[in-house]
Amino acid sequence: MKITLNVWRQSSPEAAGSFVKYDVDGVSADMSMLEMLDVLNDRLESKGEAPIAFDHDCREGICGSCGFMINGVAHGPEKEITVCQTHMRSFKDGDELTLEPWRAMAFPVMRDLMVDRSAFDRIIQAGGYVSVRTGSAPEANATPVMKEHADMAFEAAACIGCGACVAACPNAAAMLFTSAKVSHLGLLPQGEPERDKRAIDMVAQMDKEGFGHCSNHGECEAVCPKGISVNFIARMNRDLLKATLRSSR
């Protein structure tokens, strides 16, 4: 296969960026998107040019490190997979692809396709904890949990914090990410002591980071590689309202 890439190149956060066109031939349909970029980078380095910078780690769709826009879609055209799981068989010989970083004020571009997502870390730090005793693992059946709540908590905990939801949202909102983190702890008995404070603190930190507000477009759910539902946003809003009312008494 031969693929033409229009890649966003930006040498530093302060530098002006622009798209640069690359023709990549000899692409195997079995390559992942990141493997194809590895091949291109090898060729660029052999010519003394700077390689394209992009985030990656496990390359198994687990860590949430990788992520950029492919033809305007976060993680690319396939549903519920990350960039590292997107294979070149999803495209045709001769296709022209545009690769650019997540676009959000709270995710400043560091270099090329890499953005700073430490805003997510600060949201988690604001309230993503439980005050239960740590140490030896408790008996799994010692604390009864409703099956419905356990399933919902597991679904919310699947969030890998990749940032696709923010990149896809017209308002660059982080509501899906934040609601998943609030919900997966709040749904379980261990998270009950801090439930109100967690909702208030994490939402406040989300707003402080400069993310936009949710306007129910649903783009976040559409591009989420783990298929996390927007229903968690409604749940978080309910938790926040209740917590705010209780704290004002």
Q: Which CATH number belongs to the domain containing residue 193 in this structure?
A: 1.10.1060.10
User: In the chain, how long is the greatest CA-to-CA distance?
Assistant: 67
**pLDDT at position 140:** 67
What DSSP line would sit under 160-215, residue for residue? ----HHHHHSTT-B-HHHHHHHHHHHHTSGGGSTTHHHHHHHHHHHHHHTT-B---
Q: Please identify, among 78, 110, 142, the residue that sits at the C-terminal boundary of a domain.
A: 110
First to last CA, the chain: 65
- Range(s) of the domain holding residue 148: 117-247
Q: Please identify, among 75, 110, 145, the residue that sits at the C-terminal boundary of a domain.
A: 110
Give yes or no: residues 96 and 41 share one domain.
yes
Q: Please identify, among 61, 87, 110, the residue that sits at the C-terminal boundary of a domain.
A: 110
Q: What percent of the chain lies above the pLDDT cut of 90?
A: 88
Residue 2 token pair: 């031969």
**pLDDT at position 117:** 97
Under the banding of pLDDT at 50, 70 and 90, the label for residue 128 is confident
Query: Cβ distance 51 to 45 under 8 Å?
Result: yes
Look up the CATH number of the domain holding residue 94: 3.10.20.30
Read off the amino acid at residue 182: V
Domain count, the chain: 2
Give yes or no: residues 135 and 34 share one domain.
no
Give yes or no: residues 58 and 98 share one domain.
yes
- Nearest CA to 4 out of 19, 22, 20, 18 is that of 22
What digits encode the pLDDT tens for the residues 143-160? 888 999 999 999 999 999
Residue 135 CB coordination number (10 Å): 6
Give yes or no: residues 68 and 33 share one domain.
yes
Under the banding of pLDDT at 50, 70 and 90, the label for residue 134 is low
Q: What are phi and psi of 241, to 5 degrees?
A: -65, -45
What digits encode the pLDDT tens for the residues 171-218? 999 999 999 999 999 998 888 889 999 999 999 999 999 999 999 999
Q: What are phi and psi of 194, to 5 degrees?
A: -100, 15
User: Is 70 strand, coil or helix?
Assistant: strand
Query: Cβ distance 219 to 230 under 8 Å?
Result: no
Partners of 6 in the β-ladder: 21, 98
Predicted TM-score (pTM) of the model is 0.92
Give yes or no: residues 212 and 129 share one domain.
yes
What digits encode the pLDDT tens for the residues 222-236? 999 999 999 999 999
